[in-house]
Chains A and B, each alone.
Chain A
Amino acid sequence: MPDVTPDTKKVWQRRDRNHQIMIWLGQFIAVAIFMYCWHLVSEKTTWFFVLDAPRIATDMLERMMPPKWTYMETLWRPIWDTVAIATLGTLMAVVMAFPIAFLAARNTTPSTAFVRPIALFIIVASRSINSLLWALMLVTVLGPGVLAGVLAIGFRSIGFVAKLLYEAIEEINETQVEAVTATGASGPQILNYGIVPQILPAFAGISVFRWDINIRESAVLGLVGAGGIGLQLSASIDTVTWTQVSVILIVILATVIVSEWVSAKVRHSII
């Protein structure tokens, strides 16, 4: 902000004095809060256990070795379930998110006063609940099994896909839409010719990205009984068979690497 001193020499400073003091004050408060929290955490930590951690960890690693490879025979089915949960859940989410995104986007919604808030609420509601929580509730309602997992993944992903997609819809080039409108096209035709081609790459990218995330999420859903490899994981931890746990962790790692590779390939070929 420019400031004129008495001898009319023009002085330039990025901020005026009060503004600068406020910023320093803000930084001071942030540091103070951080120190205070650190203090709280430190007080509630049993430092004896933390200091002991390296020994316990090496002990656990030793007990994980060597991985019990024969356990793989019983793992193929849960792996398949995990991938199926992720894929079906993503599919369900994508199908439901597509129309919701159009209802939520400012430039395509039928009514900003009524429909758009509802669509936005669905998106927020779906996003605010973690898939593990969805699974916990759905297992209570539907009983344990793959179906609960699929729905949990699906419900969580609707919001994610719809949010990113409606942002993409709001960023389209309006003159292309105008040009299609000018030909006398109907509403659905404008959607089909003017808008959908523009958002298709984003849509495909978002879906594959979410599928990739869902593979990871569905691997832990079994912890609450919603099917997949997590079931075996929790069983192995409960029975303290660490050699099986290590196999499962390796398998999850491998699955995620493969899914990451697949989604990278797909995204690359579309965009």
Chain B
Amino acid sequence: MLRLDKLTKQYKTGDLALKDIVLEIPDGQVMALIGPSGAGKSTLIRCVNRLVEPTSGKISLNDLELTTLSQGQLRKARRRMGMIFQEYALVERLTVMENVLSGRLGYVGFWRSYFRKFPQSDIDEAFRLLERVGLDHMANKRADELSGGQRQRVGICRALIQNPELLLVDEPTASLDPKTSRQIMRLIRELCHERKLSAIINIHDVLLAQMFSERIVGLQLGEIVYDGPPDGMSPDVLTQIYGEEDWEATIEKVDDEDEAENVDVSASADAESS
């Protein structure tokens, strides 16, 4: 279970990205986090694995308090949290296999990883995962030779080979076409169910969020404005989360300063169309 208690993040620019967020995600739950650009979605999941340092509040994964960990302990804790990125964030010039195996870096020593001498069990697992997502024949291709959907599958493998308890997923479909988006979301949901993983999925596409998650949390300007089942989404709720036209100016402002750390794609268009 992941528990956020009064999590607050204020950037050096003074922007309050998250305000006293209280959130509990039980084991095995797939939760979608929606909200306009600059609402703090990316900040929230980056606070969990401390790619962004929270300003105050507590985050605990099962019984481990994450916010007070030392650098060494933090590395160990990060192994338990797999992360999937918007633009895949594969290391372009490494092969598919190296990218997948990089998910094991927290478990192997420097020289073993330097000479790419990973334990056989890791290599077996990597092939198993690649086969599961249908890319085992691509193992020795360089990552930049793959299509968007294929790259995101490799990104999923890299996260899963960590053997995580939690998946942090940041806009997995933002750069994919509609069909591939659905396939990727379906894959993430299936894998979460297979492995009893809980997941936080940041997503702009409200329809996809409704289709593939068990719970939706709506974030607006750093505060939770909706927390409920996917079928509870109504035009009223959406207005509450994304606001009306008048909101744009305010949101834009926050968005610009937030951009340095989180790359988001405009949300409102998706919300209006759904």
Contact = CB atoms under 8 A, between A and B. Distances in A.
A109 B171 CA distance: 31
Contacts, number: 81
A184 B162 contact: yes
Contact of A184 (B91, B105, B155, B168): B105
Given A175-B85, A189-B113, A183 B90 contact: no
B84 to A, nearest CB: 9
B29 interface: no
Q: Which of A184, A194, A198, A200 has the most CB of B within 10 A?
A: A184
A179 B110 contact: no
A2 interface: no
Contacts of B93: 197-198, 200-201
A189 B75 CA distance: 12
Contacts of A201: 93
B156 interface: no
B230 interface: no
B105 A180 contact: yes
Chain B interface residue count: which class? Answer: 20 to 34
Given A178-B51, A182-B78, A183-B78, A189 B110 contact: yes
B58 interface: no
B106 A179 contact: no
A236 interface: no
Given A179-B83, A197-B94, A184 B89 contact: no
B43 interface: no
Interface in A59-100: none
A185 B105 contact: yes
A201 to B, nearest CB: 8
Contacts of A184: 75-79, 105-107, 162
Interface in A162-214: 173, 175-176, 178-186, 188-189, 192-194, 197-198, 200-201
B87 interface: yes
A198 B91 contact: yes
Interface residues of A, number: 21
Contacts of B83: 179, 182-183
Q: Which of B91, B92, B110, B113 has the most CB of A within 10 A?
A: B91
Contacts of B263: 175
B269 to A, nearest CB: 23
Contacts of A200: 93
Query: Do most interface residues of chain A lie in helix, strand or loop, or is the interface mixed?
Result: helix
B103 A183 contact: yes
Contact of A182 (B49, B91, B110): B49
B18 interface: no
A162 to B, nearest CB: 22
B92 A179 contact: no
B162 A183 contact: yes
A58 B223 CA distance: 85
Contacts of A194: 91
Contacts of A176: 89-92
Contact of B114 (A175, A178, A192, A197): A192
Contacts of B82: 182
B51 A182 contact: yes
A175 B87 CA distance: 8
Nearest to A193: B102
Q: Which of B93, B104, B155 has the most CB of A within 10 A?
A: B93
28 contacts: A175-B87, A175-B263, A176-B89, A178-B51, A178-B85, A179-B91, A180-B102, A180-B105, A181-B51, A182-B49, A182-B82, A183-B78, A183-B102, A184-B76, A184-B77, A184-B78, A184-B79, A185-B105, A185-B113, A186-B75, A186-B105, A186-B110, A189-B110, A193-B94, A193-B102, A197-B94, A200-B93, A201-B93
Given A179-B89, A183-B158, 18 more contacts: A176-B90, A179-B85, A179-B155, A180-B91, A181-B51, A182-B82, A184-B105, A184-B107, A185-B106, A185-B113, A186-B75, A186-B110, A188-B110, A192-B110, A193-B113, A197-B94, A198-B93, A200-B93
